[in-house]
Amino acid sequence: MKLFHIFKDCLLLPQKDAMLRLNRLQMKNTFLYYFVLLLILIIPLELTVLQKNTTGPNDFYITQVLILYPFFMIFYALIGISLLTFLTVLMGKALKRKLKFQLLWKMIAFTLTKPILVFVFAYIMLGNQIIVNVIVMLLTFISILRLILAYPKKKL
């Protein structure tokens, strides 16, 4: 039930009340929520990879897709969030906002909910199209910019 409340608050971002509730969450809840979100992302991709396997059932290939692929996706997602957070901190400094890396890491993980869901639905409906990737990147950039602008400016 807690994951549903987190999901609801993620969809309400960058509203102040939702940001406050998400900031109060423990980091373990953040990781649990993001792993569930990545699972939602990985399942359609894995099904596509397994369906394209024309060589027949190869146990090593299936093991590789079902076990190694999700681990690499989680690893790359954690690195991606960290890099995105670093760039967001730089953008926040340029916009003169009060931002901390630790706080932003958590908020970026929550902000990526909408772009990931848009990508999953578009991937299921349209497949892997460049326009889908461009739209998801734009949505990610706009979401992060709105998140940065929701924080107060530094006092001089």
Q: From 105, 138, 135, 113, select the one nearest 41 (Cα to Cα).
A: 113
- Directed axis angle between helix 101-111 and helix 2-12, to 10°? 90
Q: Where are the domains of the chain?
A: 2-150
pLDDT confidence of residue 55: 64
pLDDT confidence of residue 56: 61
pLDDT tens, the chain, 156 aa long: 688 888 898 888 888 888 888 888 888 888 889 888 888 888 877 777 777 766 666 666 677 777 777 788 888 988 999 999 999 999 888 888 888 888 889 889 898 888 888 888 888 888 778 888 898 899 999 988 888 888 878 776
pLDDT confidence of residue 16: 84
pLDDT confidence of residue 138: 93
Classify 154 as helix, strand or coil: coil
CB 88 within 8 A of CB 108: yes
